Amino acid sequence: MRNETWRRDPQKRVQVVVLGRNKLLLAVGIFLLAAAYLLYVRQEQAASVTGTAAAGERTIHMVTGEFKSTLPDGKEIEAYRWDPGTIVVRKGEKVKLSITGVNGASHPFMIEGLGIKGEVKKGEETVVSFQADKPGVYRLICLTHPDFAHSGPMIGYIVVN
């Protein structure tokens, strides 16, 4: 075994790279684009693994939720929501919404532009199916809680790409 001593060679110089503002912004931009692409790919892979049934119909599970709070004057306020509040589907995709009533006794609802109506009751599951034929944003509206005056708005969004 040899004993070696490491010495600094005075002839070698250390190079320091200084990036200008434009190059730094470019590097950050490239990094953000790469990160966004990786997140998109991961989301697409997850959707293809977990979201599509054998018959080509994707089931999306939703629940009704409630938020309560007490104001400084002692008055209680509450708001109802769909969870998740926004779902994204592909144009042409067959979708089955499975909505379970967790909070609130009854939530009669409609989906604007799709001609779908139904009702979700506490402790029960309501299932509605549709095919997303036209791109756009469709509102899932609880008719009991359509605005702030009625403990809402309890509005969900179905985005068809």
Q: Tell me if 4 is assigned to some domain.
A: no
Range of the domain at 86: 56-160
Residue 112 has pLDDT above 90, yes or no: yes
Residue % of the chain over a pLDDT of 70: 81
Q: Which of 18-27, 44-53, 65-74 has the highest mean pLDDT?
A: 65-74
Residue 90 has pLDDT above 90, yes or no: yes
Same structural domain, 65 and 24: no
Q: What burial letters (b/e) apply to 89-127, b meaning 16+ CB within 10 Å?
A: beeebbbebebbbebbeebebbbeebebeeebeeeeebe
Least confident segment among 6-20, 68-82, 123-137? 6-20
Same structural domain, 32 and 92: no
Work out the average pLDDT over 54-62.
83
Q: What is the pLDDT of residues 28-55, one digit of tens each?
A: 888 888 888 888 877 766 654 444 444 5
What is the distance in angstroms between the CA of the first residue and the CA of the last residue of the chain?
68
Same structural domain, 29 and 70: no
pTM score, whole prediction:
0.62
Mean pLDDT across the chain: 84
- What pLDDT, on a 0 to 100 scale, did the predictor assign at position 96? 95
- Residue 120 gets the label, from left (phi > 0), alpha (psi -120 to 50) or beta, of beta
Same structural domain, 64 and 121: yes
Contacts of 144-148 with C-beta under 8 Å, sequence gap 24+, read 144/80, 144/104, 144/106, 144/107, 144/108, 145/79, 145/80, 145/104, 145/107
